[in-house]
Amino acid sequence: MRISNLEIIEYSERIRLSSRVSWEDRDQPDREVYIETEKPCGTDLSLNPDALIVGCLIPAMHFGEKRIVMEDAICPYLKEGIETVMAMMQLWSDGRLKPLDIVAAVKTPDRPDHRKPRAAMVLSGGIDSLATLRLNRRHFPENHPGAIRDGFIIHGFDIGGVVERGMKYPVFDRAKRAMEVVAEDSGISLIPVYTNIRHLCDDRSLWLDYFFGAVLAAVGHAFSSRINLLYLASSFDLPNLVPCGSHPLLDPEYSSYRLRIRHSHVAKSRMAKLKIVSEWDAAFQNLRVCLANVPDQLNCGKCEKCVRTMLGFVGLGVLDKTRAFVENDVTTDMLLPFKITIRHRPPFYQELLAPLRTRGRDDLVTLIEQKLSEKK
């Protein structure tokens, strides 16, 4: 793979960090890979090659490229981290993802870093990101360098990330409006970002198990003239850690001299996060966990992730207090279609048993226990 032609392109309403990606060992045409934002935030978009090598690394490994050639110099701190990332990918994939050569000069900061410290996070609207923001507000004084000041909401991630499902800009606009409420309530700036990095490889297993954290990190690097710290919300808690595209061992290795990346709140269980969000009304009324991307509401209330999240709120006794779901209760019929032993779902359901039992929902407890006993 060769990454070249880095440039900042200005359009009527957006500004884009653009590059050309060429495959060397795969018979595919060159393509433009980009990260862009709306003009009010565009002055902070950096011409930073670190963003592109981080974003392109995992697809290059997946498709068997022997090397990545960068025309522009990258941070040696990041280059060293990428070596660790590749070793981790090889281990987690049982050797299927093989390390490749990074052919790139390294750069030295040309001047002292006089930026004011500024922290950001990725604000998808899911439980993990909302809990991260709320805990940050609780733990950090407003003027502390670690206090979050920016939230990135990304089109091309869970919305518009899979080509076959369409770009779904109206769905993204609805999600953005919901997060504007959360951002205003918490006193941060919401920065919309649009990228096609995920389109380098739409393989769902690759995305979930190895790739998605790299795309989040790439966005952070693209804004490294604005921020120096990026929080990525944990997907799993400590007792249930598994190889994953975002992981406490993986995410920090995408850091550079100019941008530190932190995997946050891995000590918090999913139920603990649900409770934190349920006690923050702006987030509780505007959360978005649904991956169905339906056209007329934030959450479909029917997919596995919606139902699982609603079960947690039933366990807390608060589902009827949020407008984020149309439903005020969960029935066994709603859970019946789903396999809950696939991928890494069992710990999320095991954690639901005690609170649901406390609420007298033996019907749901019995069904969950039955489903957990099924073979994958």
Report the CATH number that the domain containing residue 127 is assigned in CATH: 3.40.50
Q: How many domains does the chain have?
A: 3
Q: Examine the domain organization and report whether 128 and 248 are in the same domain.
A: yes
Show the CA angle centred on residue 248, arms to residues 246 and 252, nearest 5°.
Answer: 85
Question: Domain for residue 271, yes or no?
Answer: no
User: Could you say which of 212, 247, 264 is where a domain stops?
Assistant: 264
The pLDDT of residue 324: 98
Q: Give me the helices (H) in the chain, please.
A: 39-42, 49-62, 76-92, 127-139, 169-186, 204-206, 212-222, 270-278, 281-284, 304-316, 332-335, 346-358, 362-372
Q: Examine the domain organization and report whether 124 and 223 are in the same domain.
A: yes
Question: Domain for residue 281, yes or no?
Answer: no
Q: Examine the domain organization and report whether 85 and 128 are in the same domain.
A: no
Q: Examine the domain organization and report whether 210 and 326 are in the same domain.
A: no
pTM attached to this predicted model: 0.96
What is the DSSP code (8-state) at residue 245?
S
Q: Examine the domain organization and report whether 309 and 258 are in the same domain.
A: no
Question: Domain for residue 75, yes or no?
Answer: yes
Question: Domain for residue 296, yes or no?
Answer: yes
Q: Examine the domain organization and report whether 344 and 229 are in the same domain.
A: no
Instruction: Please give the residue range of the domain that contains residue 305.
Output: 289-372
Q: Examine the domain organization and report whether 56 and 123 are in the same domain.
A: no
Q: 353: how many CB neighbours lie within 10 A of its CB?
A: 16
Q: What share of the chain is helix, strand, coil (3-state, %, to 5)?
A: 40, 15, 40
Q: Examine the domain organization and report whether 300 and 331 are in the same domain.
A: yes
CA distances from 139 to 142, 264, 300 (A): 9, 12, 33
The pLDDT of residue 112: 64
Question: Domain for residue 278, yes or no?
Answer: no
- The alpha carbon dihedral of 140, 146, 152, 158 has a sign of negative
Q: Examine the domain organization and report whether 297 and 214 are in the same domain.
A: no
Q: Examine the domain organization and report whether 123 and 259 are in the same domain.
A: yes
Which residue is it, tokens 């990606």?
Answer: 21
Q: Examine the domain organization and report whether 192 and 216 are in the same domain.
A: yes
Residue 198 exposure: Cα atoms within 13 Å on the Cβ side = 30
Question: Domain for residue 218, yes or no?
Answer: yes
For the chain, what is the radius of gyration of the CA atoms? 21
User: Could you say which of 51, 69, 103 is where a domain stops?
Assistant: 103
Mean pLDDT per block of 10 residues along the chain (376 residues) reads 98 96 95 96 94 98 98 97 98 98 90 82 98 98 97 95 85 97 98 97 95 98 97 97 97 97 98 98 98 92 97 98 97 97 94 98 98 86
The pLDDT of residue 168: 92
Question: Domain for residue 362, yes or no?
Answer: yes
Q: Which residues pair with 101 in a beta bridge?
A: 67
Question: Domain for residue 276, yes or no?
Answer: no
Q: Examine the domain organization and report whether 211 and 241 are in the same domain.
A: yes
The pLDDT of residue 248: 98
- The CA distance from 192 to 154, in Å, is 6
